[in-house]
Copies of this chain bind each other. A is one copy, B any other.
Amino acid sequence: MEFVTGVRKTDTSGIRELTKEGMEGACVRVEGAVHAIRNMGEVSFVVLRRRDGLLQCVYEKGKTDFDIRKLREASTVRVEGMVHREERAAEGVELCLTGITVLSEPAEALPLPISKWKLNTSLEAKLNMRSISLRNVRERAKFKLQEGIVRGFRDFLYSQGFTEIHTPKIGAKGAEGGSNLFRLDYFHHPAVLEQSPQLYKQMMVGVFDRVFETGPVFRAEKHNTKRHLNEYTSLDLEMAYIDGFTDIMAMETGFLQYTMELLAKSYERELHMLGITLPDVKQIPAVRFDKAKELVSGKYSRPIKNPFDLEPEEEVLIGQYFKEEYGSDFVFVTHYPSKKRPFYAMDDPADPRFTLSFDLLYKGMEITTGGQRIHDYRMLLDKLAARGMTEEGLERYLDTFKHGMPPHGGLGIGLERLTMRLAGEDNVRETTLFPRDLGRLEP
């Protein structure tokens, strides 16, 4: 009988190994995709693309059995060679080739110049050929940073006693109710795609006290803007036994601090490649919704049109104000009007026209919505009634509150937006792996 005993030691090397002390002159084997070939006559340079970076390989006539003219870009290869320190090479080392084995070949030449440092291709073309355009190392670096953000979110929350949950995406009713829901037929029952794990994470906060989820959410909004998606990844948390919604803001600030440190430590290469300076998150200013409107109105001579609404231009100006006055890329805007928040939001007892809630703006764009939730069963029923909403489809949610719930609150972070702001992109599609919008369902 054969047995599988775990990951086998490989006889191939990664780039990091080649750059180690004492590797000069070592003979190694490396696998990768042929990213670029530059023929200089007697010598050719073959750049290999691997998950850990680009490796320059030097081909000299007569040193291998392989005819370099037969090598094509986008082939994948296994090469043998001798490690040579070379300051001018991307990784500080190059490989003097002694052998090349082709593992696979393309059927056609590449449609995009992916080996260029900056891929000056339209967003539309990049998205149409997503799996090709991301072979450009700067394009893919954005998604490596995105990984770091999600990883930071989870690892920080584990350290804070949160439990990860997986809630269903097909449901009988959406969290915020009403419109903007994708509808489907579920074995002859009407169903929707969940626009948020909101109701489920609240139900679970009575079980684990602190829960989080990182998963897809679906919004059938007919927005066609640079910052809206119809499907995105939401980083959600919900926590019990809070003293107020500032506990949630404190937790988010902690997450940002942890994650920026993680990125600085473990994603240094990607940050460098994209020329990103991480934002300072030691302290984040917090300002009331109405106060923020006043500040912006005063400084930028802009009349307040509607005291209960925040226009996108106002968001941008609030961001600008706090950058100019306090040097902060982030600002918490608190106490949003009750009308603008869903039924489960806790109204401010001091002034019920506003809620105990917040948004986090990053460079003038909302990346988080959060706040304290109603935990009292009767208060919840009253709020539903006041809004003219029925309990239909909410029975199980309401039962949870009927049988006791701790004071709690939470938040949802749009992963692609956070990445977009961090990477300094101006369209959220740039930091979405395979975007779904009004006009895009493929790839």
Q: Which of A144, A185, A206, A207 has the most CB of B within 10 A?
A: A207
Say yes or no: is A193 at the interface (Cβ < 8 Å to chain B): yes
A108 to B249, CA, bound (A): 32
Q: Which of A209, A400, A442 has the most CB of B within 10 A?
A: A442
Q: A107-B378, A396-B443, A403-B132 are in contact. Are A170 and B436 (CB under 8 A)?
A: yes
User: Restricting to A26-53, which residues have a CB under 8 Å from any CB of B?
Assistant: 31, 33, 50-52
- The count of residues in chain A whose C-beta lies closer than 8 Å to any C-beta of chain B is 125
A187 to B437, CA, bound (A): 9
Q: How far is the CB of A263 from chain B (nearest CB, A)?
A: 14
A184 to B378, CA, bound (A): 37
A406 to B106, CA, bound (A): 10
Say yes or no: is A386 at the interface (Cβ < 8 Å to chain B): no
Say yes or no: is A304 at the interface (Cβ < 8 Å to chain B): no
Say yes or no: is A2 at the interface (Cβ < 8 Å to chain B): yes
Q: How far is the CB of A193 from chain B (nearest CB, A)?
A: 7
Point out the residue from B76, B105, B131 that lies within 8 Å of A207, measured CB to CB.
B131
Q: A8-B247, A203-B130 are in contact. Are A405 and B143 (CB under 8 A)?
A: no
Say yes or no: is A93 at the interface (Cβ < 8 Å to chain B): no
A204 to B132, CA, bound (A): 9
Q: How far is the CB of A385 from chain B (nearest CB, A)?
A: 15
Is the beta-carbon distance between B184 and A105 smaller than 8 angstroms? no
Say yes or no: is A24 at the interface (Cβ < 8 Å to chain B): no
Residue of B nearest to A251 (CB): B7
Taking CB atoms, residues of chain B closer than 8 Å to A3 are 283-286
| In the complex, per-residue mask of A163-188: 1 if CB is within 8 Å of any chain B CB, else 0 | 11111111110000000001111110
User: Restricting to A293-333, which residues have a CB under 8 Å from any CB of B?
Assistant: 326, 332
Q: A166-B233, A172-B442 are in contact. Are A282 and B5 (CB under 8 A)?
A: yes
Is the beta-carbon distance between B203 and A443 smaller than 8 angstroms? yes
Residue of B nearest to A7 (CB): B254
Taking CB atoms, residues of chain B closer than 8 Å to A184 are 182-184, 193
Is the beta-carbon distance between A403 and B110 smaller than 8 angstroms? yes
Taking CB atoms, residues of chain B closer than 8 Å to A129 are 396, 399
Point out the residue from B106, B200, B204 that lies within 8 Å of A403, measured CB to CB.
B106
Q: A216-B166, A246-B4, A283-B5 are in contact. Are A74 and B131 (CB under 8 A)?
A: no
User: Restricting to A422-443, which residues have a CB under 8 Å from any CB of B?
Assistant: 433-436, 438, 441-443
Taking CB atoms, residues of chain B closer than 8 Å to A273 are none
A107 to B378, CA, bound (A): 8
Q: How far is the CB of A110 from chain B (nearest CB, A)?
A: 5
